[in-house]
Structures are given as structure tokens and as C-alpha cells.
Amino acid sequence: MKLSRRRGNDEASGAAEESKGGRHVRSRDHSEGEETVPAAADEFGSAGGTGTRKRRGRGFGPYDAGKAPRGRELLDLGALRIPAAAGVEIQLQTGPEGQIQQVQLAHGGSRLQVGAFAAPRSEGIWDEIREEIRSALVAGGAKPREIEGEYGTELAARVTEGGSAIDVRHLGIDGPRWFVHAVYIGSAAVDPDRAGPLREVLHGVVVDRGSEARPVREALPLRLPAEAAAQLAAAAEERSLDQVT
């Protein structure tokens, strides 16, 4: 596993995120409320609509932090913990202050973008978000289609990125008070069998929702690993000294 960091305002990445409809996973005005969390809050049963697969019985992640398997090396990014996989590069796009704006995994000719968001206590939100992404794709000239995958209903399309056509496949994964939006880009979007190590990583992702009340769809906070944060601070200090001298 290789970890790399990119600064924000990456034009190509921003264009890809816009064309894929990622902008629609955003905060709303209403909050989750303060009702008591049921003992089986991670199993939606029949809630969440026809397009959302039940979480009960799935033998792989993303996992809730309270029920994640132990013993695997994980890169701690705060709300997301990413497992190591041979040949997979973890690319972090950061803002001016070092805050993580995007998590992307790369392997071969494919990429996988992963984001985690706050969700209601008792139902999934993927059905609603999927319709919003579909509308954005259609508005951009794409022809999205629904396919059935290992997490339930997925949304696939061919979009334009940097003047070139590229395939994308959107997955929505409803968890206990969190939602993971994953987007395969490239060959893995066309053929799930080509996802290989990227799918292995997604299967091992751990979501640490925290206990704070958050608006539905608000992005869960991410942070740089301690070593990377120290390197960023050192680089900023060096630039500051160069400007003084």
C-alpha cells in the first residue's frame, strides 16, 4: 500500500466528482434527533426502500467500528479506516489547512473514491441519493442504468472527464447512522471482477461514526495520520521560513 497526498483544487478530480454527481451527498438542514438507538440499529430489516439491500447476513464490510474484525492493519483517517492491500495506492486530496477533502484508492487502470456521511438512525438513504445522482448524470448528458451488485442496487454510467469518456459505478452502503458512497472509476466500473484489490479494500473499510449528533448527509470528519500531519506541518513551516528569508 502506498499513501500519497494531493492538494485541493485538483481540476481533473473536481471535474470527475461533479460529473459523477458526488456533489449530491451533502448536508441537509434537519438533524438526526435524539431518540434512543435500538439494540439492533445496524440492521435495517425492511426499511430503506426496495433498492437497499438488508445489511443482515453480509459477511464483509464496510463495518461499523463497534463490530469490525480485529487483527488487520488499518490506516486511521478518523471516520474512515482503510485496510492495507498490496498494489493499492491511497491518495488523499487535502485543503490548505491539511483537512482531507477526498479519499481515493488506485490500482492498475481503476480508481475507487470513498466517502462517509451521517445518516438517520432507523432507515437507509441510498434510494433517495441514487435518484439525485441519476438526475445529475442525465443532466450532464449521461445515460445511467441500474445494476444489481453485492451491496444491492448500483448506478453505472459513462461520463466525460477532462474531455474523455470514462466509466463510473456508484455504490451506496447504508450503515448504523452512517452512509458510505463509493464510486468505481475505469475498468472496475465496467466489470466488477476487475475491481480486485480495490474491492478487497472496500470490504475491509471501517466507519467510526462517533457519538455526536450531526445533520443527515453531513460528511463525517476525516484527518491525516499523525505522521503525515507532522510532515505537512514541517513543510508549511519551511515554506514560511523561506518567505521570511
130-140 average pLDDT score: 97
Longest dimension (CA), the chain: 65
101-125 average pLDDT score: 95
pLDDT band at residue 244, thresholds of 50, 70 and 90? low
Q: Let me know: does 94 contact 224? Beta carbons within 8 Å.
A: yes
Q: What is the torsional sign of CA 74, 13, 60, 131?
A: positive
Beta bridge partners of 185: 111, 168
- What pLDDT is recorded for position 44? 42
87-116 average pLDDT score: 92
Assign 215 to helix, strand or coil. Answer: strand
Residue 78, sorted as left (phi over 0), alpha (psi -120 to 50) or beta, turns out to be left
Counted domains in the chain:
1
Residue 60's Cα: distance from chain center in Å? 16
Q: 178 or 24: whose pLDDT is higher? A: 178
pLDDT band at residue 243, thresholds of 50, 70 and 90? low
Nearest to 204 by CA among 97, 65, 8, 87: 65
- What pLDDT is recorded for position 245? 57
Alpha-carbon separation of residue 219 from 25, 118, 123, 158, 193 (angstroms): 8, 6, 18, 26, 29
Domain boundaries, position 232:
2-244
* pLDDT at position 124 over 80: yes
For residue 230, give the C-alpha cell.
507532522
- What pLDDT is recorded for position 237? 58
Q: Mean pLDDT, the chain, as a whole number?
A: 80
* pLDDT at position 53 over 60: no
- What pLDDT is recorded for position 14? 37
14-42 average pLDDT score: 37
Residue 166's Cα: distance from chain center in Å? 19
> What is the per-residue pLDDT across 62-95, written as a single tens digit (0 to 9) for each?
999 999 999 889 999 999 999 999 999 999 998 8
Quote the CA–CA distance of 209 and 120 in Å, as a whole number.
12
* pLDDT at position 193 over 60: yes
Assign 95 to helix, strand or coil. Answer: coil
* pLDDT at position 16 over 50: no
Quote the CA–CA distance of 115 and 161 in Å, as a whole number.
20
Quote the CA–CA distance of 153 and 46 in Å, as a whole number.
15
CB neighbour list of residue 46: distance below 8 Å, 6 or more residues apart: 54
Q: Would you call 184 exposed, middle or buried from its count of C-beta atoms within 10 A (0-12, 13-18, 19+)?
A: buried
Q: Which residue has the cell 488499518?
A: 74
Residue 229's Cα: distance from chain center in Å? 21
- What pLDDT is recorded for position 54? 45
Q: Let me know: does 166 contact 186? Beta carbons within 8 Å.
A: yes
- What pLDDT is recorded for position 122? 85
- What pLDDT is recorded for position 233? 57
pLDDT above 70 coverage of the chain, percent? 69
> What is the per-residue pLDDT across 152-181, written as a single tens digit (0 to 9) for each?
999 999 999 888 999 999 999 999 999 999
